[in-house]
A and B are shown apart, each in its own frame.
Chain A
């Protein structure tokens, strides 16, 4: 049996269930009691202010504070409201968080989960709309996941909270605000890190998409089907670790690879996958890899300009055709 819930409810349920299960789990962040987008709404009613902790507006310091609590065996779930704001916490994220276990010789682990919302389309402009995954993948020691469905959101967030390593869960604002629904099982479950999932099987080309872009890729698949082009759509789900077997198992079948992300193209997640394709998996390709990503420009508030900026179904269709 399962239930149909929204993406935001899935995140909320994951936190509530883990807080019930483990007294060391607590939620911390800016405005998490009221919760502007709703992911942590209502948690304070059940768990009280001590376990749903509002913080001052100071991203690097609250990340450090959450890290400190995790060093002492707590399992904080920290919200950095917009992914753009993770840039204010880069010192903790990239210098300390992922490297602490290593430099302490394994004496300390940091079971910290950081949730952050990415993505455009809300007309919020340059500093509230970015997808900045590529800024974080250079840091060793972090796990980075990006769920695109309620099922994945709940399962990956629960896995993150139980993980002894720091995990960044990238949520998509379009999925939160768009109220996307999906089925989740009644029983407890988690999703292992490093497992991509095939959303649609196909034989002509492999499209690897990240987060909300999976929906655009599925839209492209539908359109291309009308032209007898049968693409395989893979939802990456986990950026670090990355499921190379699923991606390149598919490329072995199709000979063609298209990466799709909402972040910018230079040094992006697609660039990393392309480098793997050009190196380790060179023999599989029958056409040059295509990267669908945002251009190297800031995000304008103007709807006309933002729509031109964002990758979408049409840009994916064009990229697929370039490989055929």
Chain B
């Protein structure tokens, strides 16, 4: 499976950007410079970037707490993310969302705090697209841990029943918070659950960004053509802990060692070099440019404005005087 060189270079850029964004977050936490807890997605960048790659701007994305991958992939800028992460007024949610990123211009309607609440919300946005006869597809990006929420089932049921343009993109990173997946699942895979609702599904390697991109493109085209929902499960491995500062100790070191050799960015880099898309020096410069972009965004956010007491009471209701 191979994608166009220009697309591959862009997917490579986004994956590096995600990695650098999360590394910066981790560094700032360790340095005690800010407090927002991090839920990093190290090692699963080919999934978050591959699943968002085929989406159009008008398509709708529901993402996860696990890092910034899908938000970067859907078009959010590092600046917009950092302003929000630091709780600044300049953030798109004026600092009220923080990790719950929302970017209306890029059709990211927000991120729930209670895992899985958005399973059904994503079905609702797809329902609206169908009722309004738009070409929009909703992509619901979710971890395998969250797929055990009860709402997963009526959500898949409604999506299939009403033949809605929604793609369920399940990132199986082998961990459900602080437990191995096998402690939560009697099965190896999540995807076959889709068959119970007559939803077609596919299970693919989550380390190769070309594979994740192409598998998602197929699913998105299926949904956009009016054929109803589709579920894709991507197999990857979370190299980071559940949250920054979690107690750790639950990951088998042999697993970490094994998956280190399957780093999605390194895999992509090899292809980039092999295909002559970038040379070694160009690649170094390319990465340097991305790091500079992250550093600039972090500095800008540190210089941002804190919201005020007026902001505390603003935007609870669409009109004044209700509180």
Contacts and interface: CB of A to CB of B under 8 A. Distances in A.
A92 B121 CA distance: 9
A55 B321 CA distance: 35
A240 interface: yes
B287 interface: no
Contact of A60 (B94, B100, B109, B151): B151
Nearest to B321: A241
Given A56-B154, A61-B120, A68-B122, A105 B322 contact: no
A71 B125 contact: yes
A14 to B, nearest CB: 20
B102 A104 contact: yes
Interface string B54-69: 0000001000000000
A108 B112 contact: no
Interface in A28-68: 50, 53, 55-56, 58, 60-68
Nearest to B91: A105
A103 interface: yes
Nearest to A73: B128
B104 interface: yes
Interface in B109-146: 109-110, 112-114, 117-129, 131-132
Contacts of A105: 91-97, 102, 315
B317 A103 contact: no
A69 B127 contact: yes
Nearest to B121: A68
B196 interface: no
Interface residues of B, number: 50
A72 interface: yes
Contact of B102 (A70, A103, A140, A240): A103
B97 A64 contact: no
Contacts of A70: 124, 128
B148 to A, nearest CB: 15
Interface string A87-111: 0000110011000111111111100
B158 interface: yes
A103 B119 contact: no
B308 interface: no
> In which size bucket is the chain A interface?
35 or more
Interface in B302-323: 314-319, 321-323
Interface string B219-230: 000000000000
Given A68-B126, A72-B128, A100 B318 contact: no
B161 interface: yes
B124 A69 contact: yes
A131 B118 CA distance: 28
Contacts of B291: none
A65 B124 contact: yes
A194 interface: yes
A96 B115 CA distance: 11
B155 interface: yes
Given A64-B119, A65-B121, A108-B102, 5 more contacts: A71-B110, A73-B128, A101-B318, A104-B92, A163-B318
Interface of B: 60, 91-97, 100, 102-104, 109-110, 112-114, 117-129, 131-132, 150-151, 153-155, 157-158, 161-162, 314-319, 321-323
25 contacts: A58-B120, A58-B157, A60-B120, A61-B119, A65-B120, A67-B120, A68-B127, A69-B124, A70-B128, A71-B124, A72-B109, A72-B125, A100-B110, A101-B316, A101-B318, A103-B97, A103-B102, A104-B110, A105-B91, A105-B92, A164-B319, A165-B317, A165-B322, A194-B321, A240-B322
